[in-house]
Structure 1
Amino acid sequence: MNTHKISNASQQKGGCCCSGKTSVSSTLTDASKVKESSQPLYQLQVQGATCGGCVKSIERTLRSISGVREATMDLATGVATVWGDVDSDNVIEAINQKGYEAEMIAK
């Protein structure tokens, strides 16, 4: 029985994808190298991510945006971090289109 709770917005737009998936985050590139680069850094508070599958989906979406060099998300805090030369509005819009709510917390 799946007792996992998700919002209606997430269900309507692909939302939570935890059924049949593990809660392990996707494989990352060497984030320390990306962090040391001169690429801008954005941090966003993401609402609605409830499992590792959600995190993978958000990270994959962020990495697909032109100009993003790396993206990670911490499920426990709901904070997504993006490195790259990209417009912050594009980052927020991409997350919102996946059915999650995002708000910029640091540039």
Structure 2
Amino acid sequence: MLQFTVPGMTCGGCANAVRKALTAVPGITAIQADPPNRRLAVDGDVGADLIIRTLADAGYDASPIA
């Protein structure tokens, strides 16, 4: 599972927008958004770069958590 910090994801509406953007990416099997902590976990056969680009296109910055 890949984990990210998403500073702009501050509410449920933001989490829904993030989920909607990532749902369109082939290979993602699970998305867990945690707006209070501004964290995101994504599972599936997809790379971190694609997730970061997809979120950027949706208006959200994201950084991987090591």
On whether the aligned pair clears a TM of 0.5, the verdict is yes
Q: Which amino acid aligns with 2:21?
A: T
TM-score, scaled to structure 1: 0.58
Which one has the bigger helix percentage? 2
Which one has the bigger strand percentage? 2
Q: How many residues align?
A: 66
Partner of 1:44: 4
TM-score, scaled to structure 2: 0.91
Partner of 2:40: 80
Identity across aligned pairs (percent)?
33
**Structure 1: segments with no counterpart, 5+ residues:** 1-40
**Comparing both chains, which one has the higher relative contact order based on Cα–Cα distances under 8 Å and sequence gaps of 6 or more?**
2
Q: Which runs of 4+ in 1 moved over 4 A?
A: none
3-state SS of the aligned residue for 2:63? strand
Q: What per-residue deviation string (whole Å, max 9, x for no partner) do you get for residues 30-73 of structure 1?
A: xxxxxxxxxxx100000112221110110121122111001111
Once superposed, what is the RMSD of the aligned Cα atoms? Answer: 1.0
Cα pair 2:2 2:64 within 8 Å, conserved: yes
